[in-house]
Amino acid sequence: MTTYATTPAAPDPAAPLRKGPAAHDGTAVHVRGLVRAFAGRRVIDGLDLDIRPGEFVALLGHSGCGKSTLLRILAGLDRDIEGAVTVPRRRAVAFQAPRLLPWKRVWRNVVLGLPGRADRVLAERYLAEVGLGQRASVWPKTLSGGEAQRVSLARALVRRPDLLLLDEPFGALDALTRSTAQRLVGELWARHDCAVLLVTHDVEEAVLLADRVLVMRDGGIAHEAAVDLPRPRDIGAPPFVALRTALLAQLGVGATGPAAADATA
């Protein structure tokens, strides 16, 4: 049996303020017994997942483990599934490739797909949030990689999502641009009070941004770690390093394996 349901969108607050996961009731994402198979091979096999409203969750795992498949299912882009999936009606996705239409100005890319007449004022408001208020009229080909990714984030946020899905959005960026983009995402999450699922290969990025880090293996969630560290986070602090090391071990990096990582955590 397959159930794919969406919860009603919450009313837009005039001035959203982040209250944190503990201030919310209910669940933004509820997944039970999820199965997704390709040519008879189960990439996702009986997966269970809950994400609280306003919670930032990072998902780690080796290539091919089903991370992006799970994200596409939550986005509603793949419904050939078994199990039960409940997600907010209002959700948005930012992929690793910005996927901007080159024949439309930047501001038009931001409001692309929204109902009604294209609203430039609305587009410029969200471009300003990502630091591109002065680039609304340019063509996408004039943007740097980091700028294009920020436009992609603006396009996601303009939909006022209750669930923001990020599929390795910083993977193609250089180290300095990536660091700036990570900081921006943290600020936007705090401002917009939405649940976030970040798919990433970068363990440090996961610990830097998330409230909770999940490791996906064998078609399910094999390990879960709460990130109870104050923000902004110091990547050199011993608790940060210890958690990063334990997660790397869960991924098979280093001398220890998953069992040792569980003991460390």
* Confidence (pLDDT) at 171: 80
Q: Give the C-alpha separation, 31 to 117, whole Å.
A: 36
pLDDT of residue 2: 55
CA gap 225, 83 in Å, rounded: 25
Residues 17/193, Cβ–Cβ less than 8 Å: yes
Edge-to-edge strand order for the sheet containing 29-38?
Answer: 2-7, 82-88, 29-38, 41-51
Angle, alpha carbons 205-198-231 (nearest 5°): 50
pLDDT given at position 262: 44
pLDDT of amino acid 260? 43
Q: Which two tokens stand for residue 155?
A: 């396009």
Helix H or strand E segment including 157: helix 145-157
Give the domains, in start order, of the chain with CATH numbers: 2-100+161-264 (3.40.50.300)
The residues facing 164 across adjacent strands are 92, 196
Q: What tens-digit pLDDT sequence spans the chain (265 residues)? A: 456 776 665 544 333 333 333 334 588 999 999 999 999 899 999 999 999 999 999 999 998 899 999 999 999 999 899 999 999 999 999 998 899 999 999 999 999 999 999 999 999 999 999 999 999 999 999 999 999 999 999 999 999 999 999 998 888 788 888 898 899 999 999 999 999 999 999 999 999 999 999 999 999 999 999 999 999 999 999 999 999 999 999 999 865 444 444 434 4
Q: Which pLDDT score is estimated for 81? A: 93
